[in-house]
Amino acid sequence: MKPFFTTLLIISILSIGSVFSQDNLSLFIQNNPSAMLINPALTPANSFICIPAIGSMGVNVSNSFGLGDISDANSGTYTLSSSKISDMLTKSNSFLAGDYSVDAINIGAPFGESNFIGLSIRTRGIAAGSIGDGVFELLLDNPFNTYKSYDIVADYKYLLWNEIGFTFAHRWNDNWNFGARVKFLSGMATMETSDFNFVAEKHYDKYYISGTQNTNQYDHFDALGGNPGFGFDLGAAYTSNDKHFTGMASISDFGIISWNSYARNIVANNPDAKYEFNGLGELKDDFNALKGSYDNLSDFLTDSLVPEFMQTIGNDTLSESFTSSLPFCIQVGGNYAIDEALSHNVNLAFLGRNISADHYYYAISAGYYWLSPSKHWQLLANYTYYNNSSSGIAIGAVFNAEVVQAFITLDNVSGVFNATNAQHVGMKLGISLRNLLF
């Protein structure tokens, strides 16, 4: 049971926001293997071998608020504000999410005159969640000797998986390129709730908590498989005759994973029952009294308080297989070179991702990149607007040589100069060797 509540606690503390890696920026890196992992039609001009682990890796986290949005500042000291947190959490688009990916193998090469093939082995993960303002009201706005009701509503998901992908792309003519990738998946761990609704009623000096939950989880962490899945990506790319305009569109991560032997379904079967306790002061007293039995407060909560609470509400844990959907993504972009040398380029891109069953998010970006006449250097920048009403500026740099390409992209450069209101953190980098296969 501990991973279940640890995850909920982490999601509650970290905040609520939305995630989009700077894949919109990566789309426009010339001859970049990681772009092919986004859209299988964006094949490089030459064969490539990505260096394991650092061939392409990325970590991204993004929120719908910054530190200044949830706290009050006084002489450089920040104090959490219950009113600001409540205002932030009651927004309908509040959500926290993060993703990461590491490529163990990513290789590709031309095959025949018009085809390109590739093989990728990757580890990927996504975590997302939201929680209602009732939790923070309970902790921060809790007047003594009053009656008050707090809604504790949560929606969270994490998914960790390995994938083996086989890519095939075909150049239809001088203008059109089409690509597809089939992916064999192996689930390692997951948790997803479809119903987590509790109410904490304060009756002067006591609390009564009741509610429902329905959660699927697999926390055995099976790194070698046993939870099979299947997915695919599709993509298309267009280049005008004069090479000034390029357009691309793709759908990716369309697939499912089946969870088997260690899969569990957790359901509260007595939602009308009420758990009674005397507030945080009682928790502290109980913990201190049992300090010799517990190393820290987290152990006390997950090993003592939570099981007692779950027993009261009639929590059942059933061994039951289930399936999880990948975070399906749609991406569309276009780039136009404004000079004859094709050095100065402007672009637009859209990314939409289905994070969970009830949350679909998008990002719209406008960008620019410069390609040096020698083609050795490429510098990129874009401005991205997220549907959680936040925005960020990203930059990237690429170095190209005959046999190597290295790149890095950084999200939310403006946050470096305004850390109080920074809402995005993201980085993506990669190194690949070229022209070594054929």
Instruction: Note the pLDDT tens digit of each residue in 394-403.
Output: 888 999 988 8
91 pLDDT above the threshold of 90: no
Position with higher pLDDT, 93 vs 227: 227
Position with higher pLDDT, 254 vs 151: 254
CB-based burial of residue 276 (10 Å sphere; 0-12 exposed, 13-18 middle, 19+ buried)? exposed
**Per-range mean pLDDT, top range of 54-68, 201-215, 296-310, 357-371:** 357-371
Position with higher pLDDT, 31 vs 225: 31
CB-based burial of residue 45 (10 Å sphere; 0-12 exposed, 13-18 middle, 19+ buried)? exposed
Q: pTM of the prediction?
A: 0.77
Q: Please give the C-alpha separations between residue 245 and each of 194, 327, 395, in angstroms, as whole numbers.
A: 44, 30, 22
Model confidence at 4, pLDDT cuts 50, 70, 90, reads very low
Q: Going by C-beta distance under 8 Å and a sequence separation of 6 or more, which residues neighbour residue 60?
A: 19, 20, 21, 22, 98, 99, 100, 411, 424, 425, 426, 427, 428
1 pLDDT above the threshold of 50: no
75 pLDDT above the threshold of 80: no
Domains located in the chain, CATH noted: 2-127+151-189+230-254+324-434 (2.40.160.60)
Position with higher pLDDT, 426 vs 325: 325
Separation of first and last alpha carbons in the chain: 52
| Encoded tokens for 410 | 């950084």
Q: Going by C-beta distance under 8 Å and a sequence separation of 6 or more, which residues neighbour residue 156?
A: 7, 8, 11, 127, 128, 129, 130, 131, 191, 192, 193, 196
Model confidence at 18, pLDDT cuts 50, 70, 90, reads very low
198 pLDDT above the threshold of 90: no
Helices (H), ranges, 23-81: 23-26, 33-38, 67-70
pLDDT, mean over the chain: 76
pLDDT at 168: 97
Q: Which of 4-8, 47-51, 194-198, 315-319 has the weakest average pLDDT?
A: 4-8
Residue with tokens 């069953």: 357
* 94-132 pLDDT per residue, tens: 556 677 788 888 999 999 889 999 999 998 988 777 666
Q: Which of 169-178, 210-219, 398-407 has the weakest average pLDDT?
A: 210-219
pLDDT average, residue stretch 160-184: 96
- The residue length of the chain stands at 438
